[in-house]
Structure 1
């Protein structure tokens, strides 16, 4: 199904839309994998509007919002920020794709790739040597998407949700 989406840089005031999409996407992705209470608790903390407001207020961060017409309902977004990943060779100039979410009914139309392209273009323009990200090791579809886009595995980390640790894969794309 084809959708009329548009991608735009986020502005102050977008934090509620970002939080809504973040919570919805996290629930959609991890329901049946993580406990329901753990998902609710994680979303309340990690996808609160205040988290997105802080990124919007930080000049070192860049955010984009995907909206569907008619009505410009938010359906996806991406966040790039200074990298904070446990890699021995982390460069202070590396950037991290903190979040890239798109509601599943909009998958397959090229919008995930457009969000990723915006993030990569931003990282290149900022002079970052690499764009890094962490992804749940059990999310084969996401890992495959990133690998098709040129990302390679660089390491692992533990990611805590609801007091339980899960394995994440750290991927990186060389930009030079």
Structure 2
């Protein structure tokens, strides 16, 4: 049984690059399994993680201009979360949109401000060249939906999401982007 964390360990968010694809793959698979094991078919989850969370998949995203960030904690900068910002692959996309392809944080680190700081980092980076941030989220992922609503996201459509050959329903959400005011 895991022990709850009494107080947040020292942590940081940093940009991830080509040298980080192994860390992205590891935290990507770990957070996807943690989020959906028991809700989605186990064999399909493993196929999805093997294919979509392989280091080569992250290398391909970065080679196409994607931006990624890692959330790391002490000791030793252990990865506990990440975000991936890509060109949109959603039918609802318009000119000026960008897609938050992935944003996950291991659940034992929820409630410590890390997820909010990661979302703020993503939105600030996206706002420089884009007007709207899109994402897809499983239709019954209530915790994520609540978090996204607090960030200003609203539903703009639906899509089917393939997880290891099985099809699930996602909601497509969008949030307008604005640059923070200069101080």
Q: TM-score range by the shorter chain?
A: over 0.9
Structure 2 unmatched ranges of 5 or more: 1-6, 179-183
Structure 1 unmatched ranges of 5 or more: none
SS of equivalent to 2:38: coil
2:104 paired residue number: 101
2:118 pairs with 1:112: no
Q: What TM-score, normalized to structure 2?
A: 0.90
2:50 pairs with 1:44: yes
2:65 pairs with 1:72: no
1:10 paired residue number: 16
CA distance in 1, matches of 2:77, 2:164: 33
| Cα shift at 1:165 | 1.3
Is residue 132–residue 172 contact of structure 1 (8 Å, CA) maintained in 2? yes
**Which aligned pairs between 1:109-148 and structure 2 lie closer than 5 A?**
109-126=112-129, 128-148=130-150
Count of matched residue positions in the alignment of Structure 1 and Structure 2 = 172
1:38-67 Cα shifts (integer Å, max 9, x gaps):
1111100110100111122233x1111111
CA distance in 1, matches of 2:23, 2:165: 27
CA distance in 2, matches of 1:37, 1:118: 34
| Cα shift at 1:20 | 0.3
Q: What TM-score, normalized to structure 1?
A: 0.94
